[in-house]
Every structure is written in structure tokens, then in C-alpha cells.
Structure 1
Amino acid sequence: MTDEETRGRPDKSGVEVAVVTGLSGAGRSTAAKCLEDLGWFVVDNLPPELIATMVELGAQARGVITKVAVVMDVRSRAFTDDLASVIRDLDARGYKPRVLFLEATDDVLIRRFEQVRRSHPMQADGRLIDGIKAERDLLTPLREEADLVVDTTGLSVHQLRAKIEDVFGTESSLQTRVTVLSFGYKYGLPMDSDLVMDVRFLPNPFWIPELRDQTGKDPEVRNYVLTQEGADEFLDRYHDLLRLIGAGYRREGKRYMTLAVGCTGGKHRSVAIAEELARRMSTEDGTAVKVVHRDLGRE
């Protein structure tokens, strides 16, 4: 197996290493946030001489840290030679780091800097274009050695995220994580909900004496709620809607969804509907579902 084929594979300690670098304004911050969302431990602008030490510490964490990404830029003026040396050192130790290099055309970089009204880190007393040219010249050797070069000139933030996910994501990290949260309106709306489903249109088991002290997790209450007129049709249609919304979230790079299901007290209807909806959603590929009953157990 060649060095290129082994790059990016975890070594015997199970630690995978990536180095993200490139031109200022080309999307390093977006790449860092995307890697964090994919489960990587990300450190920004670590001095090159400390990279190997941090990776070794990660390797000693016994599975707590399995993916380490280091974001580097020219704020460390000597970093080009130092970083190349560190990459060779990590290679020699068996970590085989992958190097992601981000770039864009001069006109796009100028426009991005003007939009945020910041100076270029290598501009000094010169013009913005002077700083961009100096940085491009400085980083040329690193670009030539990079495992992956991404030109972000024509990419939106979501398109850049998609490219990074294709390279650095795993099946589990690319799942949409859905939390189905039952609650009672009498205790207030959940502040972190993306969508709110009101199931108070269904008859309330609270008014059935033999069901009052049970919850939506008990078979008797569950059957009572789910067999009410309109309940099954409501679940079918809402599930179809969630498929459509979930697909849109994934296209936009959003992989977390909190769906709140509410009834009066958060004990019967919302619990039963939340459990059933979660059961249906858990059968879909690429979706990880958990259920939380916020108000279950309250008086």
C-alpha cells in the first residue's frame, strides 16, 4: 500500500489526522465548523511545533478522541516550512495526515474581504491584492503537497460543506439526528424546537378514569390515542412532510432537528404520538431518532 493510499487512515492508535490550510478568505472557518459537526476535534491556529504533541495526546485518550483536525494559516509567519516538517513527522509516526488546501481567485477573495471589512493578514501597509499575492506565493509549496485542493470561488457555504462531508464524513456522522420531544402546553413551549406539532385535537385520555393515572407509554393509553379518528391519517401526512423537510435540511447542511409534540399536560397524547412518530422515522436510512418526554412525571 502506498503512502497516498494510507493517508487519512487511522493508525494503530485509532486516531485520524487532518490539516486544513489555504488562502485567507477561502473558507477555512467554514471547513472547521463542518469538521466539528462531523465529530472531529478541531484546533485553530495551533503553533506547528505543538501539532504532533496534540495528536499524541489524542492517541493516548483511549478512544475519546479519534479524529483530530488542525486549521493553520499565515498568522504564524514561519509556518510553511514548520508545517511541512510537522506533516513529514506525523507521516513518520504512522498517522498519515490528510492535507486540505482551500483557495479562490483574487477577485473573489477581494470581494469577501471587502464584505467583512477586514484587512489581509499579510497586507501590512500595502494594498489588499498585495497581501493576497504574498500569501499565495508563500503557500504554493504546501498547495503542491496537499492531498485535496478545493477551489471555493464558485461555491456557496452549503456546497463547500457538502464537499468536505464527502471527503471527511462517515455514514454515522452524516446522519440526520432527530429529537422527538413531547411536552405540555401548560408548562410552556420548548425553546429549542424547530417544529411544533399540536395534538390537542385528539380526545384527552385524562377524562377516562381508568387511563388518567397512566401515560402515553402504557399500551392502553397508546391504543386509545392512536385509534382515534384522524390520528393515523395525521401521522401519515406529518411523516411525509417531515421527509420533505428533512431532505431540505440535509441540502442546507443542517443535520439536527428537534420536533416538539404538545398536548395539554404532556402526559398522554403527546407521549403516545411522539413514540409512534419516532418509531416510523427510525425506519428511514440516514436518520437517528431519540425520544425525550419533557413533562412526563410532572403533577
Structure 2
Amino acid sequence: MTDPQEHGELVVVTGMTGAGRSTAAKELEDLGYYVVDNMPPSLLRDVVRLVDESRGFEQPVAVVVDVRSGSFFESLQANLALGATGRHATLVFLEAADDVLVRRQEAARRPHPLQGSGQLLDGLQRERKVLAELRSDADLVIDTSSLNVHQLTERIADAFGTPDTVRLKVTVTSFGFKYGIPVDADFVADMRFLPNPHWIPELRPGTGRDVEVADYVLAQAGAAEFLDGYVPVLEGVAEGYLREGKRFMTVAIGCTGGKHRSVAMTEEVVRRLGASGFDVRASHRDLGRE
């Protein structure tokens, strides 16, 4: 048997309807958790076992349980108390004031699952009674009444993130404009203002990864000035993304064919961002297409 100390975290998210369970689940997913939403508590041990078998014991798991689970909900405390999952479990309870929950539900135009033929507030009051004991057992209670989405994701990241998972992950990809702009890019930069190595016979067969081609591109007028101005902009935006709870940023750098200029500049941007401490990787979408 494996040592439970070596197993990944098990986080169970529950709480009031409209208090932010979906937001918490999305943030946990961004932090690397395997997330299961609206899971019957009776399946908790089975889900953890399947994750252990398919992804390994170190894979952290998060499950979202709420009153939509009906009668199954009552078994949650029993399943957690048994400790049969072999993992350290943390119970997170999200709540908010009734008036805030009513406004959120009305904005979403969804009835409360326990509302029945009554008012929305009736459903919330029934839900509070059902969850009262579970709330008292929670390891972490977060009142989201005065929190926006970004503030809630920050609270979840503070509680369950690691130095690696809370870092912004930056992908810098080169591309060729003649093949189309990457649709998932947050930023697009155009390197066609630089002379094209394609027109230099000895450089044409190479790519921006080759030293001779990269040296040529970086030595051109405007290349250093672009890098000196653009990289600090990306660094500033990256810090802002983190403050807003965004964990991924994609920067696309293009030239005509995605072989020379864009590749060389992509590698240099990655080098500079990496030197500044960012978790960054290079990707070359169109390299090899010519």
C-alpha cells in the first residue's frame, strides 16, 4: 500500500447555491486538480480510486457536492469520516448573505433546486437547514458576499495553490501570417518590419533556431528596440493577469512564413521572460510547413 502522506490533496467544495462553487471549481482545475462537478457523495471513494489508477496517487482531486445530489448528499459526512479514500480531505464551504444569493440567482435566471413552488428565498432557507451541520464541520468557510470572481479565485489559490501552480504560464508561439493568425492568442506581434532572411541564399535553408539566422534577425535595425519595449509590456500584463486570476497567457509572434524572423524573435522573447522568472515555453506552429 502507498503511504497516504504521498497522496495528492482531496478538496470537497460545497455550500450555498450562488455562493461561487463553479468559480472555485474552475480555479482548482487551473491549479492542476482533477475536478468532478455535481458528484453524488456515495461515489467519492470510487472516483478517488479511479483517479489513483489512471493518473497516479499524487494527482490532486476536487469534487463539488451540493443539494442537486438529493438524498445522496446526506452520505457526504459519512464518506469523509470513514477516511476510506486514503487522502487528506479538506472540506470547503462557500456561503453568502441571503440578499446577495437572491440577486445572483435572479441575475442568472435560474430557480433554486429546493425552491419547489415557493419563493427563491424559501429555497435558500431550506438549503441552509440542510447544510447547517456540514458548515460547522468545514475546514474552510469562505463568505463570498463581498467578493467578486477574481477575489474568490485569489482566495482559492492562496489556500490550495503551490509556488508552481499559482505562477502564470506563458506560451510564446511563432507563426506565419500566410497560414492565419492563431485564434487563441492574447497578443499578436508582427515581425514583417524586419528584413527577411529568406532573400539571403545562405540563410534561406535555415530557421530562426539556427545561430546564423537568429544573429542576423536580432542584429537588424529595430529588433533590439522592439524587444526592449515589448518584453516589459508583456511582463506588466502578466502581473495584471495574475492579479485578475488568469493563469495562462499566449503571445503570438508572426512573420510571412513562420520560419525565420518570428522563430528567432520568439526564442529571444522566451529567453528574456525566463530570465525574469516567468514560467514560459516556446512553440513554433508553422515551422517545417515550407
- TM-score bracket for the superposition, by shorter chain length: over 0.9
In 1, the alpha carbon distance for the partners of 2:218 and 2:121 equals: 65
Find the counterpart in structure 2 of residue 34 from structure 1. 27
Unaligned runs of 5+ in 2: none
Alignment of 1:85-234 (within 5 A): 85-90=78-83, 94-234=86-226
* 2:33 equivalent to 1:11: no
- Alpha-carbon offset, residue 61 of structure 1: 3.6
CA contact (8 A) 1:186 1:264 kept: yes
CA contact (8 A) 1:80 1:142 kept: no
Unaligned runs of 5+ in 1: 1-9
CA contact (8 A) 1:45 1:71 kept: yes
CA deviation string 1:77-122 (max 9, x = no partner): 33453111011012x6642300000000000011011111111111
Q: Which amino acid aligns with 1:67?
A: P
CA contact (8 A) 1:41 1:65 kept: no
Task: Indicate how the Cα distance of structure 1 residues 57 and 224 shifts in structure 2: closer, same or farther if over 3 A, else same.
Answer: same
* 2:244 equivalent to 1:252: yes
* 2:287 equivalent to 1:296: yes
Under a length normalisation based on structure 1, what TM-score does the superposition of the two structures give?
0.92
Which secondary structure does the structure 1 equivalent of 2:280 belong to? strand
- Alpha-carbon offset, residue 243 of structure 1: 0.8
Q: Which amino acid aligns with 1:298?
A: R
Q: Which amino acid aligns with 1:242?
A: L
CA deviation string 1:225-277 (max 9, x = no partner): 11112211210110010011111111121111111111112111111111111
In 1, the alpha carbon distance for the partners of 2:70 and 2:286 equals: 55
Task: Indicate how the Cα distance of structure 1 residues 265 and 77 shifts in structure 2: closer, same or farther if over 3 A, else same.
Answer: closer
Task: Indicate how the Cα distance of structure 1 residues 11 and 64 shifts in structure 2: closer, same or farther if over 3 A, else same.
Answer: closer
Task: Indicate how the Cα distance of structure 1 residues 95 and 64 shifts in structure 2: closer, same or farther if over 3 A, else same.
Answer: closer
CA contact (8 A) 1:194 1:259 kept: yes
Aligned residue-pair number:
288
- Alpha-carbon offset, residue 39 of structure 1: 0.9
Task: Indicate how the Cα distance of structure 1 residues 45 and 219 shifts in structure 2: closer, same or farther if over 3 A, else same.
Answer: same
* 2:71 equivalent to 1:78: yes
- Report percent identity of matched pairs: 55
Under a length normalisation based on structure 2, what TM-score does the superposition of the two structures give?
0.94
CA contact (8 A) 1:261 1:273 kept: yes
CA contact (8 A) 1:13 1:59 kept: no
- Alpha-carbon offset, residue 208 of structure 1: 1.5
CA contact (8 A) 2:174 2:283 kept: yes
In 1, the alpha carbon distance for the partners of 2:38 and 2:55 equals: 25
CA contact (8 A) 1:215 1:221 kept: yes
In 1, the alpha carbon distance for the partners of 2:241 and 2:211 equals: 34
CA contact (8 A) 1:184 1:265 kept: yes
CA contact (8 A) 2:39 2:69 kept: no
CA contact (8 A) 1:263 1:269 kept: yes
Q: Which amino acid aligns with 2:215?
A: N
Task: Indicate how the Cα distance of structure 1 residues 292 and 96 shifts in structure 2: closer, same or farther if over 3 A, else same.
Answer: closer
Residue from 54, 60, 68 that aligns with 2:61: 68
* 2:247 equivalent to 1:278: no
CA deviation string 1:6-58 (max 9, x = no partner): xxxx9245232111000111011111111111111111122111101221232
